[in-house]
Structure formats: C-alpha cells, structure tokens
Structure 1
C-alpha cells in the first residue's frame, strides 16, 4: 500500500477541488491510502471513505501569506501537518510515503525544508515537473522557481536529482541531461553556466550522468534530452511562457473555427483532431511538481488546479512513492558526490609564502 498525505485546504479552491480529486484517485488506485488533512468541517464529506484517514488542522496557509507567517506563526496549518506525516517518527517509520499540496509555493518549500531537512550532499531542494515534447513524451525540467540564483554545484545536484527522478518513474536507466543555455557551444553562457557544464561533463566522464551538453529553450519541446537543468528564475519563466503559449494557441484555434458558418462546419469535421490537440497541450495533465532534495517526498500542485489537475498531482506522488524515488535520489547523490572532488578542496588556497 502507498499512503499519501494531502493538504486539503491548500490552493485557490481548497476542499471543493481536493476532496473530489481524492475520491477519484481512491477509486482508480485500490492499493493506495490517503491521509486527508484540514479543518474538521471541511473534511466532513470524506468521513467514512474507505482507505482514508482524517487528520484535523486548525489553521490554513493562505496563498498570499508570507513565508515567515507559514513557518513561524501557523504551526498547526494543514500544510505543515500534512508535511509532518512524511517525517519518520521515533520508530523510523513515517505515517505517509509522500505529501501533496496546492498551497503557496514559497511557504511549501520553506516548511518542507524546515520539517524534513535536506538530503546529505544537497544544498538546495529543486522543483521539477514534466513538459510535453514533440516525441509524444515528456521532458523533465528543473529548477522551476525554488532557487532564483544558483551556483554551478547546485546545477550539478539538480541534474543528479532529475536523473534519479526520471530513472525511477519512467524506468530509463541513463536518462539524458541537457544544460539550458543561450547556445549549444560550450563557450557560450555566463560563468556559472560554463562552470556547471564542466562539472556535468566531469560527472559524465566518470559514469554518473548521461550529459548531452548545452541545449536551448526550444529543445525542451523537441525532446532532445530527457532532462533540462536550469536555475529557478529561468525555469519558472520558461514554464509560465509555455503554459501561456498553449492557452493562446488553443484560443486562436477556437476563434478561427467560430468565425462563420463555414468554419463552424469545418470544426465539426475536425472535432476529433481538435480534441486530441487540446488533450496534448492541456497543462492540467502535467500537474504535480516534485520538491527534490528533501528527506521526504513532497509534491506541489498548481494553486489554481481543478479536480482533474489535482488528481494528476496525486498520481505523480503515487508513482514516485511506489518506485522508491527518495531512496534512488539519495543513492545517486551519495555515489556521485563521493566520487567528485570536494568544493572546499578545490577552493582551498595554496601554501602561503613566509615573509621576512
């Protein structure tokens, strides 16, 4: 059995979305259990559900709450209580295998990091999700907003965590990794990107990564690599741009097919194709971003997600827990970092000459 803890109060819509999604998820996954966390009155409709446990929390982290409020003042929030279900207890066993929340991203990352801590060898957790590509598959992109400024070592860690994620969930032994840049040539990009490229190539030469090289923004959608690594600022802009472009294209197509009676008749003929196109670019199908690098599995849903989208986030958390993602990330990080030269050693100054 895989057990998921769900912050039912998070997001723009709260229980009106999370509860129907949880009910649909339970019906589709007979080997799953849910721990629903929220205010007692909000969870009332779920009383008596099979394979479901209700845990009360008296507070809610609002979408506009500062991180400080979520971390220090609202200690009995549904978000924090749900995350705590993933933390191992005195016996070393956690109540849940993974946590899912649609709450405030900054608050979710801060509380998760405080409650669960990071894995040894990981300086900063990263947000990773999938984006559709032309090969009728997915490209995993990270980081998507957790870390605005990154050092080269952080990008290496993101690559290792992303590789473990794809390997665990998609069953690819050596997924390919691309470093997002303004050109494919190794001489292009900022000093941070150049240094990150050197670290990634070194890890690849030692057999710890399948590093393809630099990739550009369009390569996310061509599917040139399984994973694309970038800092959180660039990743978040790329994600929001892609979602906006998909919505705009869908809107344009709808406008063109409803201009007059002839285009409406054409739309009827093309309806199967249009429905398939809509399904492929529907960002709700890709909802559910993993917060990688923590000592527990936490998944972030879009705050504006509807029931269908939130169910997809539950599916991703379920797949990650079932495939032991946490253990795989830990093993790959430990193996690689032990083989790489210490950052402190590389930065250590040489002998100091004595003066008279």
Structure 2
C-alpha cells in the first residue's frame, strides 16, 4: 500500500521556495517511497524543481501566490488562510489529499490554522508542540509543550505525556519511554500543585500507559540523556528551549572567538578540528529541525524559518517517519488503553480553590 503524500508549504521560511524545494529533494533521497504536494507559486516552484528531477517526478503542484507573513497575527492568518500556501497545505491533509503538512512559516499562524482546520483528536483537549533536543545519551529527548499552550491544567500535562511517549516509541524504539515532568526540583514536594497532581496521575497510570515515570526533572538535566520525554506547559517549555538554543550558540561563538584570538589558538584549532567539527554538528539546530503539533487529526510539522536546506530535509524526514510509524494511530491506541477518568486528578481545580 502506498504511503500518503507530504504537503509542503513551499512559500514559508526566510528564503522561501528555493530552500524548501531543495530540502524536500534531499529528504526524498532518504524516503524515496514518498510523493509530495508542493503548495505555492507554480512558476517559482517549477523553476526550483529544474535542479531536482527526482523530486519533480514525484510531486504535484498546488498553485497559490498568497503567503502568511511572519508579521501576521494568528487572528489575521485565520481570516485569510483559505487561499494561502500554509492554509492550503493544511487543508490538503484535512481533505485526504496529503497525510501530513510541513511549513517553515509563522508558528502562531500555523498552530491556529492547523487547530481550526484539523481539530483535536478524540480524548485530547489541546494539541502540543513537541521537538527533539540533542543529548549526551544515545537518543534525543522529546520535549513538549514548546509554546502552543501557555497555561495548562493537570489533564493537559497528562495528555502531553501520552502523546510524547507515543512519539518517543517512534524516535527511540523504547517500548516504555522514560517520562518526566519539568520542575524546579526533583523532590515530590517541589513545584506547583498542578505539577504534583499530574505526577500522581502519571505514576498511577504508568503501567497502563507503558511508560517509565519517576517524577520530576530539572532544566539543567534536559540534555543529559537520562530521559526520553520531558513534559511541561508551553510557557516554561518555550523559555527552556530558547535557553538551550542560546547556550548552544554561546558555546559555539565562544569557541570561535577563542580559536581565532592568537596564532597559537589557530594552531590549536587545527589540531582539535575533528573534535570541534563533531561539536558543531551536534549543536547545529538544522540537525534537530522539525517540531510536531501532536494531538491533531493529522500531522503538521514546523520547520525553523531560518533553516537551511539540510534543516528542511530533516523536518521532512521527521514527517515521513511519523507517517511511516502511524504516530496518530498510536496516540489513539494509547488513550484507548486507559480509562479517561483515570487521567483526571483526584481533585478538581474548583475543589483545590
């Protein structure tokens, strides 16, 4: 049975058509069984495809010259989504013309359009934005939510854990992913009441959910490789993600300055170049590009707006793997394995108040 097509918003991102097409072409070399629906300005897409005959042979073009800009507010994007490249790519998923959509456009607009068009899955109250972060371990760590929901209740956090674990089984191959809640300490008494309630629910449901849950983790442990899934609200998650990305840039810039500060430093750089190249590869955000909106009736993947062609290729590859492994169906199956009432805290928010 043939796999569903991947719809690519060819107009999104800082450099638009050229990088998006080049990235899709690179991804197809790794996933040559997939076909593509390229959404955007047809003349520009055809011109870019001239250098990529393999992608051209496996792609259809859906024309529009209307684009959601980086300055558009989500409310503005929703009003004009229907005729834009982003809106049409997501609608292709809804109509069954594609199995997933990839865009490097405006994150807030993408979230709003995707949620309105595809709706959330049964059993999921809110979708979450999940991404892979590099670690010192054998596998990357999945972190969610990274900005889709600034405020979350206990039930949201528990659902995020279910979705993150399903993604982790695809990304890591681990049948019982190690799941932790992000907190200011690892002790059971630390954190807000919502976090402590979520920990209680997850601990009780861990066997039914096939996860390994042992409470909390702190931000300085995110990249140690001891955890497969880190769950938090979108406000804390977005701050933590940007802190990690900023630290990576700081380390890279510091090394660059150090190695160019003197002749001796330059010689030292030449000697240590294999190690620094490995570090550069590990810290390069393009190698971990591709954040996923989990919990929707369809797969939508967000690429960094500034991603290179290699970064776009990685985002498309993430999309392909999620389709190959039926991650949406996995989440549905995991939710069906437990009584929904068991995913609720023992006390309601009204009772806590």
TM-score by length of 1: 0.92
8 A contact 1:132–1:281 mirrored in 2: yes
Tell which structure's C-alpha radius of gyration is larger: 1
CA 1:105–1:277 in 2, change beyond 3 Å: closer, same or farther?
same
Choose the corresponding residue for 1:114, options 110, 113, 116: 116
Mapped to 1, the partners of 2:286 and 2:339 lie a distance apart of 36
CA 1:211–1:129 in 2, change beyond 3 Å: closer, same or farther?
same
* Alignment pair present for 1:125 and 2:127: yes
CA deviation map 1:216-275 (0-9, x unaligned) = 112211122110000001111111111111111011111111111111111111111111
CA deviation map 1:126-171 (0-9, x unaligned) = 0001111111421110000000000011000000000011113332
Mapped to 1, the partners of 2:255 and 2:229 lie a distance apart of 30
Between 1:28-37 and 1:141-150, the stretch displaced more is 28-37
8 A contact 1:169–1:323 mirrored in 2: no
Instruction: Show the counterpart of 2:72.
Output: 65
How far does residue 349 in structure 1 lie from its aligned partner after superposition?
9.7
How far does residue 86 in structure 1 lie from its aligned partner after superposition?
1.2
8 A contact 1:208–1:336 mirrored in 2: no
Instruction: Show the counterpart of 2:177.
Output: 175
Instruction: Show the counterpart of 2:153.
Output: 151
8 A contact 1:169–1:325 mirrored in 2: no
Instruction: Show the counterpart of 2:250.
Output: 248
Between 1:254-263 and 1:120-129, the stretch displaced more is 254-263
How far does residue 208 in structure 1 lie from its aligned partner after superposition?
4.5
* Alignment pair present for 1:80 and 2:87: yes
Instruction: Show the counterpart of 1:277.
Output: 279
Mapped to 1, the partners of 2:253 and 2:90 lie a distance apart of 38
Mapped to 1, the partners of 2:137 and 2:343 lie a distance apart of 37
How far does residue 205 in structure 1 lie from its aligned partner after superposition?
5.2
CA 1:337–1:61 in 2, change beyond 3 Å: closer, same or farther?
farther
Q: Which runs of 5+ in 2 are unaligned?
A: none
Choose the corresponding residue for 1:311, options 299, 310, 313: 313
Between 1:205-214 and 1:195-204, the stretch displaced more is 205-214
Mapped to 2, the partners of 1:68 and 1:247 lie a distance apart of 33
Number of aligned residue pairs? 344
Choose the corresponding residue for 2:62, options 47, 55, 61: 55
* Alignment pair present for 1:24 and 2:45: no
8 A contact 2:86–2:103 mirrored in 1: yes
How far does residue 337 in structure 1 lie from its aligned partner after superposition?
4.3
CA deviation map 1:269-314 (0-9, x unaligned) = 1111111111111111000011000000110111111111111100
Choose the corresponding residue for 2:265, options 263, 266, 286: 263
Instruction: Show the counterpart of 1:141.
Output: 143
Instruction: Show the counterpart of 2:233.
Output: 231
Mapped to 2, the partners of 1:348 and 1:183 lie a distance apart of 23
CA deviation map 1:330-350 (0-9, x unaligned) = 11123234462667x964999
Mapped to 1, the partners of 2:72 and 2:248 lie a distance apart of 29
How far does residue 206 in structure 1 lie from its aligned partner after superposition?
4.4
Mapped to 2, the partners of 1:219 and 1:258 lie a distance apart of 31
Instruction: Show the counterpart of 2:299.
Output: 297
Q: Which runs of 5+ in 1 are unaligned?
A: 351-356
8 A contact 1:176–1:227 mirrored in 2: yes
How far does residue 30 in structure 1 lie from its aligned partner after superposition?
1.8
SS in 1 for 2:337: helix
How far does residue 55 in structure 1 lie from its aligned partner after superposition?
0.7
CA 1:268–1:208 in 2, change beyond 3 Å: closer, same or farther?
closer
* RMSD of equivalent CA atoms: 2.0
Between 1:241-250 and 1:19-28, the stretch displaced more is 19-28
How far does residue 27 in structure 1 lie from its aligned partner after superposition?
3.0
Mapped to 2, the partners of 1:307 and 1:349 lie a distance apart of 50
